């Protein structure tokens, strides 16, 4: 075979979500003379241009919500029949990977990877039921199982979890190292030089629990009127949260920054990272926040594997606002150094170089 092995990654779109950020981190750090990434997506994404520049191909089919179940399955089957040259399909669609890998199997594609990035499905009762149905095919169609954490493996792969491998959500640690210069610059741009800044990075959806975060901040505001909250991200519930902020009279103190490409710089400007999600696989943003030496107060529903062991993470119950308020006051009263031990993340396997080497070897081994 001439040229690099081409791996097909299947996602809904290549926007700045956790899984997509990981895929791009891997793509930038892998030896592209040996392995190239192509993508099967359903919608345009912010990383599309960079993918093309790195030598990747983008294929598109309409998503299930646009054209319905039968149309989607038909499109998947047609796509894989026309693209049997792929040796490896790597699907990042959680339960929906069942349909993708079933179509790939029918087309005779040898290596079919299911990758779990979460510990619960999104959506209402009907959506969850449908995803459950899709997920049945994973055990029948996947040849390999990858997950970002042990709990993510157990959720998606059930009794096959033991045969899964952990692919850690590695980051480019140098990009996140604390810098006072960047901190001052960003705080100046945001107009928060003399404020206590709480930050959160995540899509505005039910999973991320922004409503609870606003309640906590509202109570904190009574004790700490100099505090402000910076929310990075976008999503279906953003306007609801903006409404709530207005209703509570906090619009001067809560900043909505939308989707940003400079998370590494924004993290420098925060004093505390707050993350009360209902569920998570293993959030890349929490690795990034610790990489920037930021104290993190996070939901106890998140896997303990996310703690890098450098005394930056505290797990709190998401049904007790007062506990969060007390902890925030406590953390903000301390002025800890933001410099973390240089090897802290790579020792735990969360430096992107380790992760890229792991996936490179994994692909090479299985493509033969």
Mean pLDDT of 178-201: 95
Tell me, yes or no, if the two domains 5-170+351-367 and 173-347 fold the same way: yes
What tens digit of pLDDT does each residue of 301-314 get? Answer: 999 999 999 999 99
Strand partners, 58: 39
Comparing CA positions, the residue from 109, 103, 105 lying closest to residue 87 is 109
Give the residue extent of every domain in the chain.
5-170+351-367, 173-347
For residue 1, is pLDDT > 80?
no
Cβ pair 79, 106 in contact under 8 A = no
Comparing CA positions, the residue from 43, 47, 56 lying closest to residue 12 is 43
Cβ pair 73, 63 in contact under 8 A = no
Architecture of domain 5-170+351-367: 3-Layer(aba) Sandwich (3.40)
Alpha helix (H) ranges present in the chain? Answer: 18-29, 48-53, 64-67, 69-82, 97-106, 125-141, 150-157, 173-176, 180-190, 210-223, 238-247, 263-269, 284-291, 321-333, 344-347, 352-367
pLDDT above 70 coverage of the chain, percent: 99
Place of tokens 């039921």: 129
Cβ pair 249, 217 in contact under 8 A = no
Cβ pair 5, 367 in contact under 8 A = yes
Cβ pair 199, 264 in contact under 8 A = no
Which class in CATH covers the domain with range 173-347? alpha beta
What tens digit of pLDDT does each residue of 82-108 get? Answer: 999 999 999 999 999 999 999 999 999
* pTM more than 0.85: yes
Q: Which two tokens stand for residue 346?
A: 């790579």
What tens digit of pLDDT does each residue of 114-173 get? Answer: 999 988 888 888 889 999 888 899 999 999 999 999 999 999 999 898 999 999 999 999
For residue 2, is pLDDT > 80?
no
């Amino acid at each position: 075979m001439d040229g690099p092995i081409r791996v097909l990654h299947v996602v809904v779109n290549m926007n700045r979500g956790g899984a997509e950020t990981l895929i791009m981190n891997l793509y930038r750090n892998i030896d592209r003379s040996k392995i190239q990434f192509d993508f099967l997506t359903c919608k345009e994404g912010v990383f599309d241009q960079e993918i093309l520049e790195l030598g990747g191909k983008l294929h598109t089919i309409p998503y299930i919500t646009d054209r319905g179940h039968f149309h989607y399955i038909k499109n998947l089957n047609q796509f894989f029949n026309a693209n049997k040259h792929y040796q490896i399909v790597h699907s990042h669609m959680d339960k929906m990977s069942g349909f993708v890998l079933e179509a790939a199997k029918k087309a005779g594609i040898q290596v079919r990877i299911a990758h779990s990035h979460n510990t619960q499905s999104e959506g209402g009762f009907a959506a969850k039921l449908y995803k459950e149905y899709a997920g049945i095919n994973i055990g029948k169609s996947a040849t390999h199982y990858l997950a970002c954490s042990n709990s993510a493996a157990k959720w998606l792969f059930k009794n096959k979890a033991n045969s899964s491998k952990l692919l850690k959500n590695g980051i480019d640690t140098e990009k996140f190292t604390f810098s006072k210069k960047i901190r001052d610059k960003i705080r100046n741009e945001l107009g928060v030089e003399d404020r206590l800044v709480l930050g959160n990075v995540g899509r505005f959806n039910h999973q991320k629990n922004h409503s609870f975060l606003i309640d906590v901040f509202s109570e904190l505001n009574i004790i700490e009127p100099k505090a402000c909250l910076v929310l990075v991200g976008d999503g279906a519930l953003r306007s609801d949260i903006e409404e709530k902020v207005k209703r509570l009279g906090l619009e001067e103190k809560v900043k909505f920054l939308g989707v940003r490409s400079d998370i590494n710089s924004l993290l420098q400007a925060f004093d505390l990272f707050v993350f009360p999600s209902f569920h998570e696989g293993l959030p890349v943003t929490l690795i990034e926040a610790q990489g920037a030496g930021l104290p993190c107060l996070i939901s106890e529903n998140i896997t303990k594997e996310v703690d890098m062991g450098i005394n930056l993470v505290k797990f709190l119950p998401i049904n007790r606002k007062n506990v969060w308020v007390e902890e925030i006051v406590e953390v903000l009263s301390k002025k800890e150094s933001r410099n973390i031990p240089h090897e802290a993340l790579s020792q735990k396997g969360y430096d992107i170089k380790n992760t890229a080497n792991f996936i490179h070897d994994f692909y090479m081994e299985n493509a033969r």
